[in-house]
Amino acid sequence: RKDLMVNFERRGWHKWKESDQDDWNIWWASVYSTKQVFSSDSHVRLGDHQLINHFPNHYEITRKDLMVKNVKRYRKELQREGRDTSVLDIVPTTFVLPGDYALFAEEYRRKPNTTWILKPSARAQGKGIFLINKLSQVRKWYATQWPGAVKVNSSDAYVVSRYIQNPLLVGGKKFDLRLYVCVRSYRPLQAYKSSLCFARFCNFKYTEDEDDLDNAFVHLTNVAVQKHSDQYNENHGSKWPLESLKFYLKTNYGLKRTNKLMEDIDSLIVHTLKACQAVMINDRHCFELYGYDIIVDDALKPWLIEVNASPSLSATTDADRSLKFQLINDTLKCVAPRQWHTKQARGSGHHHHHQPSSSSPSSSSASPPNFLQGSPSPLAQHGSFTLLYDEVSQQQERLRLRREQEREQSDRPRWSTWGSSASVSGREPGRRSMSARGSFRH
């Protein structure tokens, strides 16, 4: 929160006061506050000068059970269209409990020597997570979790996923990647990826020993879990910048495989967003900063663990603090209109409001700029954020390629047969058609 406030204040933005009522421009809200804003009972109507940092139903991608459901639905859509579905081999085999218990039990019996990980659908920071390798463990837990339940609230649901038992290790320790993605729109889809990514390491060396199956310091990379270990290093916070990891990978696996991994990660992010695009309410006043958690196996294949709607902005080290500050700064560059990023600000806002004196009167009661009018072409770069996917540009490129193909086909010589001669059409002006004895068979 401190880094948020400093970022806002450095722009000359002013904190919202109750006397301002609905006169605000940017609201960095919690998911709960967002739910209240967009609820049918709130009667809130956002103006063209207002932005909020969550989409109304952001949970379609950030709840583990809904994200899995949307990926499965998207896979079926691609299958119906005859398109390649291998791009969606990004989520380990997953079932939602209690509803899919029978399917899970069947899959377990088919592969009995597999370890599975259970997670609450709507919790974060490693809370409520545990591993199992026996079906009897699940039965016992199931009986205590939902004793005699006929209907279970969705907030109480769990997901059970095949555990990645062959993670890529560095120094014998398991890690995952935290990547930041800023989505400005879902229809059309427009997403940016930050270079401010890092790896989060476990404090204990990885082992598949059954005795350590419940050792969170071996299996869970969440900082909220690892910081309670007596081996936690407060200097680096068990984190490694992505550039350091890439250097390690290039040294040990080569440039080609490292680049392929990074391309696969980009594809994973884009297809996850596409999987939820159809069901996401695309309010033009919304943007989202997602925290993607991805694990890499020893074949350098990325797997999606989860997507966070409110990635932690608190810092554990000086380097972490600098990273989070820049992340917030670049996110605001990405989503807020350019004229807001001057220090000559007048006005008020919730959390912060900004009226540039160059484009509006200095009075706080003056009408704020209508920055949602029009859709200028997206910039390729906003600080650490690079344009990852722009649906409009993709559509324009596909249209351009299709027109080029049509033009090439129309320019090709066209054979026609008549009797025992073959002639070529599409000749240069002023030249006679060429004819040849014999026939041309199609």
* pLDDT for the residue 154: 64
* pLDDT for the residue 149: 55
Instruction: Tell me the β-bridge partners of 297.
Output: 167
Tokens standing for 367? 């009408």
* pLDDT for the residue 423: 47
* pLDDT for the residue 377: 57
C-beta separation of 370 from 378 below 8 A: no
C-beta separation of 221 from 260 below 8 A: no
Tokens standing for 68? 């899995």
Phi and psi at residue 72, to the nearest 5°:
-65, -40
Please calculate the CA angle 381-382-384 and round it to the nearest 5 degrees.
90
Radius of gyration of the chain (CA): 27
* pLDDT for the residue 366: 39
Compute the distance between CA of residue 316 and CA of residue 328 in angstroms, rounded to an integer: 16
Compute the distance between CA of residue 20 and CA of residue 27 in angstroms, rounded to an integer: 13
* pLDDT for the residue 401: 79
The DSSP string of 218-269 is HH---HHHHTTSTT--TTTTTEEEHHHHHHHHHHHH-HHHHHHHHHHHHHHH
Task: Give the rounded distance of the alpha carbon of 323 from its chain centre.
Answer: 19
Tokens standing for 106? 């069947």
Compute the distance between CA of residue 399 and CA of residue 407 in angstroms, rounded to an integer: 12
Tokens standing for 310? 């409110």
pLDDT average per 10 residues of sequence, the chain (442 residues): 82 77 83 86 81 93 93 94 92 92 93 90 77 89 70 74 95 96 95 95 92 89 82 80 96 97 97 96 94 97 94 85 92 82 45 38 40 57 92 80 76 56 47 39 40
* pLDDT for the residue 226: 82
Backbone conformation region of residue 172, classed left if phi is above 0, alpha if psi is from -120 to 50, else beta:
left
Compute the distance between CA of residue 385 and CA of residue 389 in angstroms, rounded to an integer: 12
* pLDDT for the residue 229: 81
Instruction: Tell me the β-bridge partners of 420.
Output: none
SS3 state at 390:
strand
Compute the distance between CA of residue 112 and CA of residue 106 in angstroms, rounded to an integer: 10
SS3 state at 49:
coil
Contacts of 378 (CB under 8 A, 6+ apart): 184, 190, 387, 390, 393
C-beta separation of 117 from 160 below 8 A: yes
Q: Which residue has the tokens 């804003």?
A: 37
Tokens standing for 150? 């006929």
Phi and psi at residue 65, to the nearest 5°:
-70, -40
C-beta separation of 215 from 226 below 8 A: no
C-beta separation of 380 from 387 below 8 A: yes
Compute the distance between CA of residue 353 and CA of residue 345 in angstroms, rounded to an integer: 9
